[in-house]
Amino acid sequence: MAEMTEKEKAARGLLYNAMYDKELIEERAYCKAICYEYNQLHPAKIEEKTALIKKLFGKIGGPFFIEPPFMCDYGYNIEIGSNFYVNHNCIILDTAKVIFGDNVMIGPNCGFYTAGHPLDAERRNAGLEYAYPIKVGSNVWIGGNVVVLPGVSIGDNAVIGAGSVVTKDIPSGVVAVGNPCRVIREITDEDKKL
């Protein structure tokens, strides 16, 4: 049986080495070049911006808009649904899948980080890391300056308050805030009056 590539290890959630693997280095360089081009385009060049994201992302379900600057590691691990909106300064470290449902709104300065590193300094210093997928459901609003960590799922119709650090799964239909992010209440019919 052939030994797994570093990319295959990453896809399986195993420790892998992204720092010295030629394939992953080349894929990141390609992605960074597209992100650079995207971020340099004039705001009126909507078609060109859309074409670059379509070239980069693994799956696009419908209309989307991503305010520059935007950065990601590989691009092909990102899947978005229809009516996807991201405000300025979003970073997606997509060493594993990052999947967004329909009607997702993301505030400025947000980060989605699938990559993590061993607590053991020797393995960390050797360049090893792991990647766990992130999933964001449909009809989710994520406030500004939110960080979503590896392996987290956020349920449909959830609202994540600004400045939150999401370290664990968040269920559907709730407002969650804080560091670490915690559910503070369910979203109710009373919220339709605001």
Please confirm, yes or no, whether 117 is among the known catalytic residues: yes
Q: Rounded to 10 degrees, what is the CA torsion of 134, 7, 65, 170?
A: 0
Single out the residue of 41, 108, 52, 39 nearest to residue 78, CA to CA. Answer: 52
- Angstrom distance (rounded) from CA 40 to CA 61: 25
Helices (H), the chain: 6-11, 22-40, 46-56, 121-125
Bridge partner list, 148? 112, 166
Catalytic choice (28, 32, 117, 182): 117
Active site residues: 117
